[in-house]
Structure 1
């Protein structure tokens, strides 16, 4: 009975995106989070493979963006779920692309908006060629007031690193 309760509690915790410790990635690392972290898993960083990210709470949203023609369905973990899993504490984020492009994003965007780190577009994994492996997507489908240059400039694609700043 104790084993059943422990398994149920573990599944509930995974489903809510809450983590108290972070396992090391088993597959290729697609995201490294650094800065003030309570749950690092590789040195002082939190590293995630795709499978780890896909276990976190997230959403799918179909929306128009300035980067695509028509409507695209993006899915992936909530940015806040990734930051929670890493135990990140800070006031802003530096989102860094694989080509070193970066954007400053208030920590509150992760906490208060349903921003996702999209891993899929129209159900398909996103390759580097197609803005992957991760693309910060704001909930343009849920809040039309976000559809402006302020949030477009924060929507970094080909994300490899997130730096948590105080």
Structure 2
């Protein structure tokens, strides 16, 4: 499994502080924890897409696309949780993407290729909410690649877990 832990959390907290201080991110409080949601760009999709220019999404743009909901376990959360987001397959289809893989990139520069076969064969989503709450930047948000692990026992392997990129900020079609 990929290393996650204190460094990643500290880095995310630092980025959150910089984002709030310098880029106009808005902070709103929830009952259980603070949710930090960017007012600007949260995802860039580039590479082999129609038109050749990167597609840039803010949270509102992603939320305006058809929502896919997945109830699943992950190795990083307790029990099963409900994730809401955009199916990567649908997003890439809208953008006219052609390729064999998508390089998923996180704000801490963690990168992993996701084969197009995964995207075609499973309802892999870019999640922006868990259990009805936006994913906070300091806890895997604002975007997290989620596989339907509970529906497909064969996906419960380190290989697939390593593709669940949290703090996702870019998808590059290759």
TM-score range with shorter-chain normalisation? Answer: 0.7 to 0.9
Partners of 2:162 and 2:70 in 1: how far apart?
19
Would the aligned equivalents of 1:58 and 1:81 in 2 still touch at CA under 8 Å? no
Check whether the contact 2:44–2:170 (CA below 8 A) recurs between aligned residues.
yes
Q: Measure the CA separation in 2 of the matches of 1:58 and 1:88.
A: 20
Q: CA-atom RMSD, angstroms?
A: 1.4
Match of 1:93 in 2: 102
Counterpart position of 1:37: 49
Q: TM-score, normalised by structure 2?
A: 0.74
The number of aligned residues is 136
C-alpha separation in 1, matches of 2:143 and 2:72: 17
Q: Give yes or no for contact 1:53–1:82 (8 Å, CA) kept in 2.
A: no
TM-score w.r.t. the length of structure 1 is 0.77
Write the mapping of 1:6-155 to structure 2, written as runs, cut at 5 A. Answer: 28-39=40-51, 44-155=53-164
Segments of 5+ residues of structure 2 without an aligned counterpart are 1-38
State the alpha-carbon separation in 1 of the partners of residues 51 and 56 from structure 2: 10
Confirm or deny: 8 A CA contact 1:61 1:141 kept in the other structure: no
Give unmatched runs, 5+ long, in structure 1.
Answer: 1-26
Where does residue 160 of structure 1 map in the other structure? 169
